[in-house]
Structure 1
């Protein structure tokens, strides 16, 4: 009986976590899990990243530099995102970042290092007796890619921050993946920014990371990281 209870508790803990293993285009999942998304450290146990100074806060890659994922062709303005497995379980914001692959390199091999990441989406809650996040229980996180983005290959990073135990330093839980995309039909002359490095963009004491969302219930929320780029 004791063993059964321990196994049940372990299964519940895993089911409360989630990954983003698959890309979506216009609401439809594309390919199979980890086909155009770099396989993450937590691909089996769904565990989060909790150290914002760790290299894992960038893409949480299981085997960096292996070039195992393919690069998905998409169009500027198309709705492109990520499917969650099983779903987004915890309260907190979804954020989406892009980093353009430098000339002479490819999305399949570039490591995304340096001050190269810019944010294209940051989710805000509805305020009331509790914070209600649009992504809560979502199966997908999708947005329309900015139409003014220069064409070319990018790393596309999804991040969801679980804030349910974020009242203590290191309590915020980051669920994240990096997909590989090749954008066609972009505007060409935009200069997206501001750009940040990952790690480097976040501190463990940022107000959107170290926060008690339960009591007293906040009346505002500051997303960690840079401002959102818009055309």
Structure 2
């Protein structure tokens, strides 16, 4: 058996400009007083957000990066049975990330996603992540204005999504300070708000039907910002 056969997971570390930083360590950090400072926001456990229409979906129940640079998001594990898309959003912190939560308004713009692509092996984004050592690399859009941002990295497990509210969302947020000469200030969707439990294209779906080519899969949260 491989270590990714039937397990949930949580973000373990973030790599920025060649330097690795620990994410929130769910089995250690809650017991440290005072809690350690981390670039990734704290999460309760390795389970999914139980109510993906509530505020827990925003970032789960700032390192420096130039616009156009890449960030590696490293999980402790990911189960190969939990197939689904990988989605990445950003939101500009106003006025800074110190108190910004991103759970009101429409600040989130999607910068990258990998859903279902039958031309790839494996076809699902989450399975690609598992094969890559439970790691995902995302590029910061080169045209965005400098400032403080939240990067919201998320895996959606569709293994029991054939029943209402069965889809399993695993979001986590990383604080970033973006440099560069870009001027774009995009906005997009509300989280909570963008995910509809009755979305039959991206959330209320039967995984086997997508794998069999019977239905086309469209990841929730709208298109990638361009």
1:209 aligns with 2:203: yes
State the distance in 2 between where 1:120 and 1:33 align.
21
Cα shift at 1:132: 2.1
Post-superposition CA distance 1:136-156 (Å, at most 9, x none):
114212121110010000011
Cα shift at 1:15: 5.9
1:96 corresponds in structure 2 to: 88
**Length-normalised TM-score, structure 1:** 0.79
Cα shift at 1:30: 1.7
Task: Structure 2 unaligned segments of length 5 or more: list them.
Answer: 25-37
State the distance in 2 between where 1:118 and 1:135 align.
20
1:56 corresponds in structure 2 to: 56
Cα shift at 1:185: 1.0
- RMSD (Å) for aligned C-alpha atoms: 2.4
Task: Structure 1 unaligned segments of length 5 or more: list them.
Answer: 1-11, 62-70
Equivalent residues of 2:111, 2:225 under 8 A apart: yes
State the distance in 2 between where 1:160 and 1:210 align.
15
Cα shift at 1:13: 11
State the distance in 2 between where 1:32 and 1:99 align.
21
Q: Of 147, 158, 164, which residue of structure 2 is paired with 1:169?
A: 164
Cα shift at 1:81: 3.8
1:19 corresponds in structure 2 to: 10
Cα shift at 1:192: 1.8
1:160 aligns with 2:155: yes
Bigger radius of gyration: 1
Report how many residues are paired.
Answer: 201
SS for the counterpart of 2:138 is strand
Residues 114-129 of structure 1: pairs in structure 2 closer than 5 A? 114-127=105-118
State the distance in 1 between where 2:79 and 2:181 align.
30
